[in-house]
A and B are shown apart, each in its own frame.
Chain A
């Protein structure tokens, strides 16, 4: 079937299998490989992207469901060569090690801060419940989220 998705501001149209997942559309059709797959049970959040501005796990959305809608991945976050405040905060707070969970984490936090621009540490932790990281112990990810909130205010 034919689907058209606006990915990071560019329209992409392709003929895909009905059952193609959005994450595979992004990775294999759009060639944007930052968004990762870490599980097959909607548990890890490595695949988190924004769909019409809201965070979704792109492994649970069919490409067809994104037809006519806009997707933002981590590749689309920086503007004019400037990192987004959440990306910058991850860098400054050492919020990543191997980097595998990172694109999903960053997108989840972008979404979290849109909904709640001044979260407490507890709210950040609760908001990240669906995003697993095996490297950082979450300590610096939480700090990055709080630092990004600080910068934005």
Chain B
């Protein structure tokens, strides 16, 4: 029987549970013995010119080996030329006058920007010494928020004429599709800035090992780190080795390597010393890239029969101080703007605005949660306006199952979907009718604890860069063991378990004889990594493909050994034995077959790429209770259908969904990065940033649904981000729904008690 689809508990866990993972700061490698500590001096100003840096006092401190500033960086290649920046293809910094330096030279653009590094022998000296480095600033007006940036009264980058490095705005707006609608609704919506907050902050170590600059870094892809480092430091990739040890969560913020860590590598190269850096959480909350940060204007029009005829989404992306991703995030948002609906007219535009805030990059979902939040809120606004049940409005506008593959008006090609079935399933599981009845009872009773029921239906794009594919090398040795070298990059997803399951399924080599190796550019020079929910569909398919190639080669060897035709050789995948068909006495083990091959190993080194991305979909129902006297929201239930095709291991897939739902709930209910009017962060510690805890969440109710894709041999799509994409709008819609009878139409996220209470008061006053 195939192991695929069964509940297999993780092989990774015993080590993590008994001795703990080895994250970068846990490394006790001999090469890092005696490594110096690197501490950053960071900007305390949001926008200022640097008029002087004085390190003399710091240098007098015991244990301080060096203080390095931009002035010491005379060994770097020139910054990249100006480019369009990334659109939907991928994140590319804009370059040219918008270039981001490593250490700030003459100007700082956000609180937390690196200005200098202090290298100390260890202990707590680094923080003391960093405080003694004095930086003189000449303050400039801070540009806080995307609207102020677009207004352009103060510019961030000399030599530019606006704060908008990238935009895609049509020359003229065509309002005619809305003209014939019974009802048109417009709304400004804030998709607020949030912190990615992996529990392991950023950490890097660097040393020369056998003449190679070796970087240990907490990342989602070692190979991309090496590529970026090579460009930034002007070195050949093969002069470097990047090793990714255990990683304590990434969520998009650890894709590749960012400027702070590149500085660590540079400082190691510059000084020749082994170095370690592990940021504090307070640094992390200003230095690590953040997510979302979009302003939306939605316009939705349709008829009273529930049919939506036109939808427009205008996006302003706050990209923070440097346009690291070009137009990537809002580009994806616009691509996915129409969601699960078959709409006659969809219009989108975006502008990317630089602001004096921490740079923005991918965060779980990266552009798609924003798209879903906008359309799902818009559909609810439309439903409320025409007085129709929001589930029913959705049903009347879904892309029908017989229309796949479905080309959207925005240029996406959805592979497969059963949107109506997903909605029906989730409504049944939630007991939607009963919930509405209960809501009605509570409304009639008129007490302070009102019930809100929120629905969202979503489709998202996974493995957007499907063509880049993923690598896998599979080696079966003459001791009967198998080793998988994967370009995919585990940081909690359970790759070791999943990849071993794929090998066992195809080859009959038991999981406990399969080792999975990732995250080392010397062992796996070619790999893409883990982001965009791409691992299983690309990396897993590559492992599957490698296993098939090894099997073909094994069959060839077994045929020779058994002196039979290859066509008569069969592999029993339950026992892992090779036999001549119908002759059970002729059993060869993998060890024997591999031993017969030249070199005593069977090897397949493959790459799998898919023709197109896949489009997982689903439906969520959130049930909240809102105390109308205090505005407090309690998430009572969260029920979901998340369909990403056949499930390899339900344990892992459910874990991804749970984590995703919680992060989506966090945005809907609690989390927000805030700045004051001068650009000072107000949420730069975990005491101030309202990270979601166990007390604010219920247990989740998951419903299964598996609609395969034809784009890879496993039939799978990505599940890593789906939970986040579906949950945020369901919960936001539930909050509004709870108080809709009081006249509330919309409440921006996060639905804090103050905000909900204010919305109720405002509605009552009208």
Contact = CB atoms under 8 A, between A and B. Distances in A.
Given A39-B685, A134-B249, A33 B22 contact: yes
Contacts of B651: 94
Most buried by A among B12, B28, B693, B695: B693
B683 to A, nearest CB: 12
A136 B658 contact: yes
A152 interface: no
A90 B13 contact: yes
A134 B661 CA distance: 11
Given A44-B686, A94-B9, A136 B20 contact: no
B716 to A, nearest CB: 19
B662 A98 contact: no
Interface in A99-114: 99-103, 106
A137 B697 contact: yes
Interface in B1-58: 9-10, 12-14, 16-23, 25-26, 28
Contacts of A92: 9
B280 interface: yes
B200 A36 contact: yes
B17 A101 contact: no
Contact of B691 (A37, A99, A102, A132): A132
B18 A78 contact: yes
B530 to A, nearest CB: 12
A96 interface: yes
Most buried by B among A17, A78, A97: A97
B17 A140 contact: no
B20 A36 contact: yes
Interface string B680-702: 00000111000101110101100
A78 B14 CA distance: 11
Contacts of A143: 699
A46 interface: yes
B123 A74 contact: no
Nearest to A75: B19
A41 B687 contact: yes
B251 interface: yes
Contact of A100 (B200, B281, B662): B200
Interface stretch (B289-297, B486-494, B514-522, B612-620): B486-494
Contacts of B280: 39-40
B10 A91 contact: yes
Contacts of A131: 693-694
A133 interface: yes
Given A98-B248, A134-B249, A75 B697 contact: no
Contact of B20 (A41, A103, A129): A103
Q: How large is the interface on B (under 10, 10 to 19, 20 to 34, 35 or more residues)?
A: 35 or more
Contacts of B10: 91, 94
B663 interface: yes
Main secondary structure of the interface of A (DSSP, over half): loop
B765 interface: no
Contact of A74 (B20, B28, B685): B20
B247 interface: yes
Interface string B693-714: 1110101100000000000000
Contacts of B729: none
Smallest CB-CB A-B distances: 5 pairs: A34-B20, A100-B248, A137-B662, A98-B492, A97-B492
Given A83-B14, A91-B17, 17 more contacts: A38-B199, A38-B200, A40-B280, A41-B282, A90-B17, A96-B13, A98-B247, A99-B246, A100-B199, A125-B695, A126-B695, A129-B693, A129-B694, A133-B694, A134-B198, A134-B663, A135-B655
Interface of A: 17, 19, 27, 31, 33-44, 46, 74-75, 77-78, 83, 87, 90-92, 94, 96-103, 106, 121, 124-126, 128-143
28 contacts: A36-B200, A36-B248, A38-B201, A40-B685, A74-B17, A74-B18, A75-B20, A77-B18, A83-B18, A90-B13, A94-B654, A94-B655, A98-B21, A98-B247, A99-B12, A99-B16, A99-B17, A99-B20, A99-B492, A100-B248, A102-B16, A102-B20, A137-B658, A137-B660, A137-B661, A137-B662, A139-B658, A139-B699
Interface of B: 9-10, 12-14, 16-23, 25-26, 28, 123-124, 197-201, 246-249, 251, 280-282, 491-494, 651-652, 654-655, 658-663, 685-687, 691, 693-695, 697, 699-700, 723
